[in-house]
Structure 1
């Protein structure tokens, strides 16, 4: 990056598994030429249609451990018996070399680590329309056993408690609206004016969004 050029900003999107964060993040990157997607490393097996280096960097447990030992990760976490991590290079190249913002789709546990290490990062929490809908999505994917889905739902309940550590919250009950909301947040933070940021935070205040979600029965599964 040349002297005086803008340094990119990391935007962290976290959500319980099955909320749709991958779809949202990919769509946002496709609509904003100054936004790049951070490709995480994982030890899990690829799902149908996934490609290494595009969706994830699929690595062996031994290679993942080696990267941890060599301090190559900004954050890493274990979820569902598999490991996930964001490498330092995944942010450095687009942010420093190209001056682009980076969208990180990571687990809630990993987001907590990034908050301590990336002071300029902005954090967006995606909520499912309801826990009932989340359960339906997880079962509809057909990629997990019933026991694994029950464990994921238990983790999701705990992850929702972390919303208080995020800057923004958005309920993913309509894909287009969710994409627009995330892009609105990014545009406001990129502009940097106090008025723009305050407006975005007022529209997507984590406490207000969470309270409305709870009031609307979001936490119920029946």
Structure 2
């Protein structure tokens, strides 16, 4: 689908809520979408690829990009830096794409302040127990790391009230379907269809 103008979408969730799984499906199944690859100083997880999932950079390189003003947002999360290239996002949105930023709540707040035309989505786990179980099943968390992530999650879920949309990820297929419907409905808004709508009105006037 070709859009008159794109949209920047900020999507956040507690670690383990499933936002990455939802996003991968939507990006694969819905035309006209793109993923903004963030920069991070954390180590890659198994299966993650540089330039696809994240740009994995040194702390020094990250700080240089930040100090040059090249980042739309940045934050420190779980003892690592995360940030988004403003140039990449601007280029993708100008091409009419729905661009997704997978970022934590501090970075999301920065984006909403700088780009109020963006939309934000918070993915909720169905319960705290469900979130803990998902983190345990990952098999990558120590007891200390698990406790830290759950503590952070307790704070993050309160930020859901600041977002435009909330999706409860109880079943992956349902969550994917909901996100796709949100995007499709947004594409019909007048601010994304103004030129096309005016063209149709002009056609009626010319041939009326």
Give the shorter-chain TM-score range: 0.7 to 0.9
Is 1:38 aligned to residue 36 of structure 2?
Answer: yes
The 2-side partners of 1:177 and 1:62 are apart by 41
* Residue in 2 that maps onto 1:220: none
Larger radius of gyration: 2
The 2-side partners of 1:105 and 1:125 are apart by 10
Compute the displacement of 1:144 (Å): 2.1
Pick aligned residue for 1:60 from 50, 58, 61: 58
What is the correspondence of 1:55-204 to structure 2 with a 5 Å cutoff?
Answer: 55-96=53-94, 98-192=95-189
Compute the displacement of 1:138 (Å): 1.0
Compute the displacement of 1:6 (Å): 2.2
Q: Deviations over 1:131-164 (max 9, x none)?
A: 1011111122122211111111011111111111
The 2-side partners of 1:29 and 1:89 are apart by 20
* Residue in 2 that maps onto 1:11: 9
| Unmatched segments (≥5 aa) in structure 2 | 192-208
The 2-side partners of 1:93 and 1:51 are apart by 22
The 2-side partners of 1:23 and 1:171 are apart by 13
Q: CA RMSD in A?
A: 1.4
* Residue in 2 that maps onto 1:197: none
Report the number of matched residues. 189
Compute the displacement of 1:193 (Å): 5.5
Higher relative contact order (CA 8 A, sep 6+): 2
| Unmatched segments (≥5 aa) in structure 1 | 195-222
Compute the displacement of 1:89 (Å): 2.1
The 1-side partners of 2:57 and 2:115 are apart by 25
What is the correspondence of 1:209-220 to structure 2 with a 5 Å cutoff?
Answer: none
Compute the displacement of 1:64 (Å): 0.5
